[in-house]
């Protein structure tokens, strides 16, 4: 692993003792957690579709539309707890929890030497490699063939099995094993039926042996004296029976015509490496620090080498977790059936935080994964709008298991079914992607129109001045100092409604657009409270509760451009005051990094650095460089790992369709570096380098236009011509 530039991988001198430290590979469908133990190697297999039935598969949104008008009347009349009654009385129903499938297990019948042991993951290839004196394992998850591939070379005999006995696995899980001979060696299968359900999943591993002998020892297979063993593994969730023979035929076809591990890897690299290498960050770190194993590097939180590696790891893990879906709370991985918060897609903050770097860091694969999840669920979003609000159009849920987008996870304390900002929040990254490529996706346009139609039906109540009132209104996941969670005019709802209506109008010019813009113009302005801070609720009598992990009310700052230091300096100052007053509550990683993203937009580099330090100093990163939700490695969670690259990018480069901001919030601890390949929302690729003496930016525009250029010296116009590189040198204008 070279140390002359940023390290695109990480390594450890010992096998993983905990699944949380297992190195990760994935293709956005299948995931693999690799332990790398030469005597008892385990690869935990996951898949985005693996969710355990818990009643959520039958749940529907509450039918509350007939009660809505009465609750609105009471809220507007001053009954601040009126929305607590807007429920059908059901108990809290969690979405179906994400879980692992099984582990492939390779045990040597005689203990081998561990001399020279090393395990590593190469971010550029997605390969996890472990080596010892007489043993080598290489594992990757193919983006081309949707299969987990492992090749093992060893001098010892191996017992190979599929083992479902992972932490928290239900005792009543109905498990059946199979072992069959094949021309290549053997086929192992594991079928698991969920308790009290007709749903099941089946895993299949084709064992292809070169040299040696293969002996069935159900439910395992014993391989003796082989020169290499190749394993191809897939898992499928299904109802009824799965045709294992059909799965066998598909896996055998991958080895047709003598195709090898290297052939399968090459097909995968065409997709994975191309995506991963588009953007890089070099912070001129010390080569000796770059050479450290990850578990040692995370103990040195002030080192540039750590930020380099976490940036690279974050991009790698984000890409690897995105395909069928964007990342879950745990990305694409877990070794435990008892995943916190169901391992859900938590839409009211976490999904968008994790994917925040996708557009600018040139990972359209991630944005397309988010679009895929959205478009599969639009029909469910329509049902939410009808059932809860009696409206046309769509309302997104706050939580999803990936199977449905129905709003059924809510309680008195978390009235998530009243959250109307979700559709705009989830669509915003898709709009940003369209801005970057200069072309509007008709699928995004269609959903935006449905969001606007919802607001036409929902935004019918007004205040004494004729301004629209958003009622009931919910600010995830906070409540006012007075009253209750379901309130009036939450700042996020105001920003989302304004943005959705105006963006839908931009995508749909004509009579509809005029009507939607007029409705947006009738929404109230944000309120500045007695502390000089942007208020979380723009309604008299609703005071702020500052000590909270969410920053929903600052949606207008990040990711929207509704509030900026350039266009709305007074509101930006109020937003900055709100950020100063915000507490960290339970010290969750997503709260710290959300804070950093908002601070970067407000040009506060010291606050960005402080928020990053809370995470880097707090022992949030496992040896795998996947992160935890809380300090001290408490609760495996992808928020910090996936969001950190976005924080660094926002601190160094920001753009809108007509503005470029260079080095807006660079932490002082990063005196020099180079950021390569960033995509801007005005249609240019940007390379940026900086030292204590100045900075240099190279813009490669795809469109001809005039933008505003902002640096620490102020702003000026900049004319760009498509196809002509434009070089900017800070300090010489």
Helical ranges in 438-588 per DSSP H:
442-458, 491-507, 511-521, 569-581
Give me the pLDDT at residue 733, please.
32
The segments of the chain whose pLDDT lies below 50 read 1-2, 732-733
CA distance 579 to 305: 29
> Which CATH code, of 2.70.98.50, 1.10.260.40, 3.90.1300.10, 2.40.37.10, is assigned to 9-51+99-276?
2.70.98.50
The whole-chain average pLDDT of the chain stands at 96
Task: Using alpha carbons, select from 633, 8, 731, 687 the residue that is nearest to residue 314.
Answer: 8
Neighbours of 725 (CB within 10 A): 13
Tell me the CA distances in angstroms from 246 to 120, 187, 252, 447, one per residue in order: 34, 12, 10, 38
Q: What are the pLDDT digits (tens) for 337-370? A: 999 999 999 999 999 999 999 999 999 999 999 9
Give me the pLDDT at residue 1, please.
40
Q: What are the pLDDT digits (tens) for 572-624? A: 999 999 999 999 899 999 999 999 999 999 999 999 999 999 999 999 999 99
Q: Which residue has the tokens 């859900």?
A: 344
Q: 691-704 burial string, b = 16+ CB within 10 Å, else e?
A: eeeebbbebbbbee
Task: Using alpha carbons, select from 281, 476, 462 the residue that is nearest to residue 362.
Answer: 281
CA distance 362 to 653: 14
> Which CATH code, of 3.40.710.10, 1.50.10.10, 3.40.462.20, 3.40.50.1220, is assigned to 64-87+306-644?
1.50.10.10
Cβ neighbours for 137, distance < 8 A, ≥ 6 positions apart: 34, 36, 38, 41, 106, 128, 129, 130, 131, 150, 151, 152
Give me the pLDDT at residue 512, please.
96
Task: Using alpha carbons, select from 598, 594, 592 the residue that is nearest to residue 630.
Answer: 592
Give me the pLDDT at residue 673, please.
97
| Strand (E) or helix (H) holding 320 | helix 304-320
Give me the pLDDT at residue 2, please.
43
Write down the domain spans for the chain. 9-51+99-276, 64-87+306-644
Give me the pLDDT at residue 5, please.
82
Give me the pLDDT at residue 3, please.
58
**Edge-first strand listing for the sheet containing 213-217:** 23-26, 30-34, 40-47, 102-108, 158-163, 220-224, 213-217
Q: How big is the CA angle at 59 (ends 56 and 65), to the nearest 5 degrees?
A: 145
CA distance 272 to 28: 11
Q: 207-234 burial string, b = 16+ CB within 10 Å, else e?
A: bbbeeeebeeeebbbbbeebebbbbbbb
């Amino acid at each position: 692993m070279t140390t002359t530039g940023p390290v695109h991988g990480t390594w450890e001198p010992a096998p993983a003792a905990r699944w949380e430290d297992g190195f990760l590979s994935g293709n956005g469908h299948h995931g693999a957690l690799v332990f790398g133990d030469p005597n008892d190697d385990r690869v935990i297999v996951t898949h985005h579709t693996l969710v355990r039935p818990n009643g959520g598969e039958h749940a529907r949104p509450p039918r509350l539309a007939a009660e809505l008008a009465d609750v609105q009347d009471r809220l507007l009349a001053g009954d601040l707890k009126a929305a607590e009654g807007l429920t059908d009385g059901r108990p809290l129903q969690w979405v179906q929890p994400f879980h692992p499938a099984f582990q492939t297990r390779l045990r040597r019948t005689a203990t081998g030497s561990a001399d020279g042991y090393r395990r590593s993951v190469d971010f550029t290839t997605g390969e996890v490699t472990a080596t010892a004196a007489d043993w080598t394992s290489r594992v990757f998850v193919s983006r081309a063939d949707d299969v987990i591939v492992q090749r093992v070379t060893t001098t010892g005999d191996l017992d190979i099995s599929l083992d479902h006995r992972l932490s928290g696995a239900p005792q009543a899980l109905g498990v059946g094993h199979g072992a069959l001979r094949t021309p290549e060696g053997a086929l192992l299968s594991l079928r698991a039926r969920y308790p009290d359900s007709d749903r099941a999943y089946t895993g299949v591993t084709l064992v292809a042996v070169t040299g040696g002998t293969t002996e069935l020892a159900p439910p395992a297979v014993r391989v003796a004296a082989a020169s290499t063993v190749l394993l191809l593994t897939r898992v499928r969730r299904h109802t009824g029976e799965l045709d294992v023979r059909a799965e066998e035929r598909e896996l055998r076809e991958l080895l047709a015509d003598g195709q090898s591990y290297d052939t399968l890897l090459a097909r995968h690299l065409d997709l994975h490496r191309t995506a991963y290498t588009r953007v890089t960050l070099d912070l001129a770190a010390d080569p000796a620090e770059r050479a450290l194993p990850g578990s040692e590097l995370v103990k040195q939180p002030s080192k540039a080498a750590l930020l380099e590696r976490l940036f690279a790891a974050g991009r790698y893990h984000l890409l690897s977790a995105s395909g069928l879906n964007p990342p879950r709370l745990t990305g694409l991985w877990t070794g435990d059936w008892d995943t916190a918060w169901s391992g859900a897609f938590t839409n009211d903050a976490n999904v968008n935080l994790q994917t925040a770097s996708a557009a600018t860091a040139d990972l359209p694969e991630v944005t397309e994964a988010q679009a895929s999840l959205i478009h599969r669920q639009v029909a469910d979003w329509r049902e939410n709008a009808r059932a809860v609000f009696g409206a046309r159009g769509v309302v997104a849920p706050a939580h999803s298991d990936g199977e449905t987008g129905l709003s059924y996870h809510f309680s008195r304390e978390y009235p998530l079914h009243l959250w109307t900002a979700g559709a705009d929040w989830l669509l915003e990254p898709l709009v940003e992607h369209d801005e970057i490529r200069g072309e509007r996706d008709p699928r995004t346009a269609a959903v935006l129109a449905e969001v606007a139609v919802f607001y036409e039906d929902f935004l019918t109540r007004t205040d004494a001045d004729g301004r629209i009132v958003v009622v009931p209104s919910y600010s995830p996941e906070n409540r006012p100092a007075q009253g209750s969670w379901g309130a009036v005019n939450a700042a996020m709802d105001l920003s989302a409604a304004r943005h959705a209506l105006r963006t839908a109008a931009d995508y749909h010019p004509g009579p509809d657009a005029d009507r939607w813009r007029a409705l947006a113009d009738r929404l109230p302005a944000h309120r500045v409270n007695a502390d000089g801070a942007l208020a979380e609720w723009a309604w008299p009598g609703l005071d702020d509760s500052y000590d909270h992990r969410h920053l929903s009310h600052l949606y207008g700052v990040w990711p929207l451009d509704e509030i900026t230091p350039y266009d709305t300096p007074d509101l930006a100052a109020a937003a900055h005051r709100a950020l100063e007053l915000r507490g960290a509550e339970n010290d969750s990683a997503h709260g710290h990094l959300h804070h950093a993203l908002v601070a970067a937009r407000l040009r506060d580099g010291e606050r960005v650095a402080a928020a990053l330090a809370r995470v880097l100093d707090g022992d949030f990163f496992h040896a795998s460089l996947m992160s935890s939700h809380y300090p001290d490695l408490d609760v495996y969670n992808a928020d910090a790992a996936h969001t950190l690259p976005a924080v660094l990018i926002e601190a160094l480069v920001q753009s809108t369709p007509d503005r470029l901001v260079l080095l807006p919030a660079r932490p002082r601890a990063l005196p020099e570096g180079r950021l390569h390949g960033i995509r801007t929302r005005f249609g240019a690729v940007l390379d940026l380098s900086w030292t204590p003496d100045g900075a240099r930016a190279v813009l490669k525009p795809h469109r001809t236009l005039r933008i505003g250029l902002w640096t620490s010296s102020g702003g000026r116009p900049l004319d760009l011509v498509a196809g002509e590189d434009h070089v900017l040198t800070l300090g010489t204008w």
